[in-house]
Every structure is written in C-alpha cells, then in structure tokens.
Amino acid sequence: MNNEIILASGSPRRSEILKQLGVNFRVVVSGEDEKPTSTNPMDFPRENACIKALSVSRTERDAYVLGFDTLVFLDNMPLGKPKSEENALEMLNILNNRSHFVITGVAIARNGEILCASEEKTEVIFRKCSLQELKDYVNSKDPMDKAGAYGIQTNGARLIKSINGCYYNVVGLPVARTLEMLDSLQVKV
C-alpha cells in the first residue's frame, strides 16, 4: 500500500513540525480558494482544511493528503491574517489582556475523498502589554502572515501569558491530533 504523505500547505511552520516529527512528506500547495459554506464560523477551519486536502488529492493519486487551516477566534468570531499594519495593531489591541481560542482544522484526503476531518482547539491568554510593545511587534513585520496577527513560535511569544492545550496547534499543526488521525488510517509515518 502506498503511504506517501503530501502536505497541502506552503506554510514553513507546518513543514518544520512534520520534519521535526520525522515524517517523510512532500509539499503540494493547494491553489483552491477557501470558501466555506457553513454559517457557523467555528466550522471554517475544518471546512477549509477539507477544501485544501481535497483539491490536492484529486491530482495526487493514492497519496494521503494533509490539509490544515488555522484561525484565531475572539468571542466566537474569526480573526484572519491582518490586511495592513494598522489592522495588525487593531487585532493585537483587542486580544491584549484577554483570552481567545485558536482552532486548527485537520483533514486527510485520498483520491478526491475526505477520509477523516477534525479540529483542535487551544485557549491562548495574552498578558497585559503596553501599546508600545504592540507597536514594536507590528513594526517587526512578524504578524503580517499570521492569523490573529501573532506568532507564538516567534517574538510574538512575548505577548502571551499562558496557553491551555496544544502549543503546536497554535503554530498551525496539532501534532497529537494529526498523528492519531494518520494512525487511525494505518498510515505509517
């Protein structure tokens, strides 16, 4: 049986995590637009992960395709990637000294069919940061390609007081959940 694994994401962070785990994989970025149909924003990460995995699995026959999508939720509303530095500062300001959730959808597809899909949810609590700290972080340009305008794995860690749940989920690839899903499909990693 072919156990080839493909990561349907161009995220260097996700690639790094899979390499750290010793997973043999290759990257094929999904060109599919993420257009979830659910009316519940909390379903968007899982739905988007399915869209990405399905898209790549239609052309990469017999491979197990991993799709992921990570969103930051504050009061059950998603915060995507910032559109500008001003937008990044706004996001960080509303997250400041508050608790929010990071949800990553995980999907595994093969031959144009979703084999399994799930999600991981982690609570992140920001410490009380000064406006200057937030501005300095935005000026570093680090927040610009990250959901919620921060990266826990970079100097955005300075903003965080604590987390409840999977650290790797906040980075964008929930390790235990992903390995459990692959294991349930008897995919050797």
Residue 1: pLDDT over 60 = no
**What pTM does this model have?**
0.92
Place of tokens 């999904």: 30
Structure confidence by residue, pLDDT tens digits, 22-71: 999 999 998 777 777 888 999 999 999 999 999 999 999 999 999 999 99
76-91: pLDDT as tens digits = 999 989 999 999 999 9
Residue 69 bears catalytic tag? yes
Mean pLDDT of the chain: 94
Take residue 155 and report the two structure tokens written for it.
């100097």
Provide the pLDDT for residue 8. 97
Own/partner long-range contacts of 156-162 (Cβ < 8 Å, ≥24 apart):
158/129, 158/133, 159/92, 159/95, 159/96, 159/126, 159/127, 159/129, 159/133, 159/134, 160/124, 160/125, 160/126, 160/127, 161/125, 161/126, 161/127, 162/125
Beta bridge partners of 66: 7, 108
What is the CATH T-level fold of the domain 5-184, as seen in this structure? Maf protein (3.90.950)
Q: Where are the domains of the chain?
A: 5-184
Q: Among the options 33, 43, 69, 75, which is catalytic?
A: 69
